[in-house]
Structure 1
Amino acid sequence: MARILIIGGHGKVARLLEPILAERGDTVSAVIRNPDHAVDVTATAAAPVVADVERFDLDQLTNLVAGNHAVVWAAGAGGGDASRTYAVDRDAAMRAIDAARAAGVRRFVMVSWIGSRAGHGVDPDNSFFAYADAKWAADAHLHDSGLDWTIVAPGALTDDPPTGRIRLDPDGDGAVSRADVAAVVAASLAEPATIGRTLRFGNGDMPIAEALRTR
Structure 2
Amino acid sequence: MSDVFIIGITGGVGRLLAQKLRWRGDSVRGLVRRDDQRAELATQGVDTRVGDISGMTVDELAAAFAGAGAIVFSAGSNGGSREVTKAVDGDGVAKAIAAARLAGVGRFALVSVLPESWRERDLGEEVEYYFAVKKAADIALSRSELNWLILRPSLLVDGPGAGAVSLGPAEFHGQITREDVAATLAELLHEPRIGRQILELDTGSTPIEEAVRANVR
Does TM-score exceed 0.5, indicating one fold? yes
1:80 counterpart letter in structure 2: G
The answer for the alignment partner of 2:69 in structure 1 is 69
Question: Residues 121 and 102 of structure 1: is their aligned pair in 2 closer, same or farther, counting only changes over 3 Å?
Answer: farther
Q: Find out whether 1:201 has 2:201 as its counterpart.
A: yes
The answer for the alignment partner of 1:49 in structure 2 is 49
The answer for the alignment partner of 2:155 in structure 1 is 156
Larger mean CA deviation between 35-44 and 104-113 belongs to 35-44
Q: Secondary structure at the match of 2:86?
A: helix
Q: Tell me the TM-score normalized by structure 2.
A: 0.90
Q: Would you say the 8 A contact 2:49–2:64 is kept in 1?
A: no
Percent identity, please. 37
The structural deviation recorded for 1:40 is 3.7
Question: Residues 124 and 164 of structure 1: is their aligned pair in 2 closer, same or farther, counting only changes over 3 Å?
Answer: closer
Question: Residues 102 and 175 of structure 1: is their aligned pair in 2 closer, same or farther, counting only changes over 3 Å?
Answer: same
1:136 counterpart letter in structure 2: K
Q: Distance in 1 between matches of 2:71 and 2:39?
A: 22
Q: Would you say the 8 A contact 1:10–1:40 is kept in 2?
A: no
Q: Would you say the 8 A contact 2:70–2:106 is kept in 1?
A: yes
Q: Distance in 1 between matches of 2:153 and 2:38?
A: 27
The answer for the alignment partner of 1:132 in structure 2 is 131
Question: Residues 136 and 121 of structure 1: is their aligned pair in 2 closer, same or farther, counting only changes over 3 Å?
Answer: farther
Q: Secondary structure at the match of 1:80?
A: coil
Q: Would you say the 8 A contact 1:15–1:44 is kept in 2?
A: no
Q: Secondary structure at the match of 1:194?
A: coil
The structural deviation recorded for 1:35 is 1.8
The structural deviation recorded for 1:123 is 8.4
Larger mean CA deviation between 45-54 and 123-132 belongs to 123-132
The answer for the alignment partner of 1:211 in structure 2 is 211
Q: Distance in 1 between matches of 2:115 and 2:80?
A: 19
The structural deviation recorded for 1:124 is 8.4
What RMSD, in angstroms, separates the aligned Cα atoms of the two structures?
A: 2.2
Q: Would you say the 8 A contact 1:162–1:179 is kept in 2?
A: yes
Q: Distance in 2 between matches of 1:89 and 1:160?
A: 25
The answer for the alignment partner of 2:189 in structure 1 is 189
Q: Would you say the 8 A contact 2:32–2:38 is kept in 1?
A: yes
Q: Secondary structure at the match of 2:183?
A: helix
Q: Would you say the 8 A contact 1:17–1:186 is kept in 2?
A: yes
The answer for the alignment partner of 1:143 in structure 2 is 142
1:50-88, Cα deviation, whole Å (9 max, x unpaired): 111111111111112121111000112243211111111
1:170 counterpart letter in structure 2: E
Matches within 5 A, 1:23-172: 23-115=23-115, 125-168=124-167, 169-171=170-172
2:128 counterpart letter in structure 1: F
2:171 counterpart letter in structure 1: P
Q: Distance in 1 between matches of 2:59 and 2:182?
A: 29
Give the unaligned 5+ runs of structure 1.
none
The structural deviation recorded for 1:9 is 1.2
Larger mean CA deviation between 39-48 and 136-145 belongs to 39-48
Q: Tell me the TM-score normalized by structure 1.
A: 0.90
Q: Would you say the 8 A contact 1:116–1:136 is kept in 2?
A: no
Q: Distance in 2 between matches of 1:167 and 1:190?
A: 18
Q: Would you say the 8 A contact 1:5–1:65 is kept in 2?
A: yes
Larger mean CA deviation between 38-47 and 200-209 belongs to 38-47
Question: Residues 40 and 174 of structure 1: is their aligned pair in 2 closer, same or farther, counting only changes over 3 Å?
Answer: farther
Q: Would you say the 8 A contact 2:112–2:150 is kept in 1?
A: yes
Give the unaligned 5+ runs of structure 2.
none
